[in-house]
Amino acid sequence: MNGHVLRLLKGKPRWTKNEENWHGAKALGSGGQGCAVLFVKVDPKSQMIVDRVVVKETYDMVGLPNKYSSTEPLEFYMSKRLSKKTNTVNIFAYRLNPGRDSYRMYMEYCALGDLTDKLEQPYRSRGLAFPEPYLWKLFLDLAQACEDMDNPVGEGLHKDSFIAHVDFKPENVFMCPPDKDNFPKYPIAKLGDFGGAMLSHPHERWLTHRDKTNRCFRTNGSVAPEVYRLGLDNGDPHEIPRRHRAPGLKLPRDPRVTTTTNVWNAGLIIGELMFREPLEAPKNHVVPPHKEDIWYYTARDEWIEKFNLCKDDNVSMPQYSARLKNLVMACLDYFPENRPTPAKLVELVKAAVNHHPIMSTADSLKPDLYNGRYDLDRSIRLIDEYPVHRSKNQDGDYDMADGASISFPSSYSAEAGAGESGSDEETGPEADFAAVDAMLGMIVQGFKQLWRNF
């Protein structure tokens, strides 16, 4: 566990005035740009959890300022326009910390983890096949997230603008407990982590799209063709895949990110859960320096070709319908204009869901009407490890300052403690880590100033 995570766990969320009952409960993840921790609020009388929030801390003020807002991190600016949607992670507030060149965002807790840890790895490690109704349910969740990103509504966002997630992958799909009235046997999937996303407009120049995608986070093997092409250097090899070649067909000169870029990623996720052959770099394969993306893109295209062949000969995926296989391939079409739009994808998936009507209703829970044929494997436990227990008689403010932004007071001093508030001095491990962070931040800023002067 790195110092950033430990400091966050040992401290407080720092978004309310009275936080003595808030405690760091679990480290959720960390990376080069930040880390995330679950905080729970415990009732002092009952010792029960009465609320919880995920705190994500991002370093180096990534996305600040942005052209749309001088104070809101770009990730928050995009995420809040999707908040309260069914299939994107709900975000509540943000807080800037200029003293440590970082900011925090506060969001809902998805109790079942991410799609990779909860479902993909357990199934793949045991050679299991996902029941088709579950894949349709997951497909619907992802399609609805694509539709929400297609035309999000919110103050200051042009009606034709859209969000391209770009880093749309299983690790960024988070799972919540099932809805008792809607697919009660399957978890709800929500797309999160918009730190690598881009806000775009269909009429922007392709050079603008290229500049934006170069600032996005991307994962090798999960990059849509148009995003990949925008990152190519002069002389990098590339051609239309064999399955799409036709006489006289040429690549468009100016690739663009479109609303169907998200559709491509949604189709890839479903395809990966259907096809047992994973995308893995050979251990002894030598990739030229700085060309890993080219190797991975070529390998991914070969993977899609194999998926397409298995779809047609029905050898490796006999348990899945042609309808599901064909829709996945339609989403993975090389040309964005040939893929279904997000709205059309939702329409097509909903029509398919209707072929398994019992799974989408509470009747699937009745033993006399349902024989368990389409259940997830028994090893998959859909249990909330930190359940909330609220009582009407409990005292305390359980509201999460929904939609509120938080900035630091002018009296803030980085040397005064953790740097979360000039008025709340901290002691203990968080203060120790904070002091080190503040000192390192001052040193880095000093070097930056010397470099500018030089």
The dihedral built from the CA positions of residue 196, 11, 82 and 270, taken in this order, carries a sign that is: positive
Half-sphere exposure of residue 301: CA atoms within 13 angstroms, side-chain side: 18
| In-domain check, residue 383 | no
Tokens (6 digits) for 329: 């391939």
Exposure letters 68-94 (e unless 16+ CB within 10 A, then b)? eeeebbbbbbbbbbbbebbbbbbbbbb
Same domain, 325 and 449: no
pLDDT digits (tens, 9 = 90+) for 152-187: 655 455 667 899 999 999 999 999 999 988 899 999
Maximum mean pLDDT: which of 46-55, 60-69, 194-203, 437-446: 46-55
Q: What is the CATH number of the domain that holds 414?
A: 3.30.200.20
Same domain, 339 and 448: no
Q: Which long-range contacts (CB under 8 A, 24 or more apart) does 21-24 make?
A: 21/396
Same domain, 272 and 228: yes
pLDDT digits (tens, 9 = 90+) for 26-36: 999 887 778 99
Structural domain range at position 21: 3-109+388-453
Q: What's the mean pLDDT in 36-61?
A: 91
Q: Could you write out the three-class secondary structure of 107-156?
A: ECCCCCCEHHHHHHHHHHHCCCCCCHHHHHHHHHHHHHHHHHHHCCCCCC
Same domain, 424 and 311: no
CB-CB contact of 405 with 93 (8 Å): yes
pLDDT digits (tens, 9 = 90+) for 12-27: 998 777 889 999 999 9
Residue 314 has pLDDT above 90, yes or no: no
Number of domains present in the structure of the chain: 2
Q: What's the mean pLDDT in 426-447?
A: 40
Distances (CA, A) of 239 to 187, 245, 251, 302: 39, 9, 8, 13
* Phi then psi dihedrals of residue 97, to 5 deg: -135, 80
What is the chain's length? 454
pLDDT digits (tens, 9 = 90+) for 189-201: 999 999 889 888 8
| In-domain check, residue 278 | yes
d(CA 305, CA 175) in angstroms, rounded, equals 30
> CB count, 10 Å around CB of 332?
25
| In-domain check, residue 372 | no
Q: What's the mean pLDDT in 387-401?
A: 65
Amino acid occupying residue 289: P
Pairing of strands 405-406, 91-97: parallel
Same domain, 405 and 334: no
Same domain, 190 and 294: yes
Same domain, 426 and 341: no
Same domain, 409 and 339: no
Same domain, 336 and 422: no
Same domain, 98 and 146: no
Selection from 92, 68, 77, 72 nearest residue 13 by Cα: 92
Q: What's the mean pLDDT in 330-339?
A: 95
Q: What is the CATH number of the domain that holds 228?
A: 1.10.510.10
| In-domain check, residue 222 | yes
| In-domain check, residue 117 | no
Same domain, 317 and 417: no
Q: Where are the alpha helices (H) located in 245-379, listed in sequence order?
A: 260-274, 292-313, 322-331, 342-353
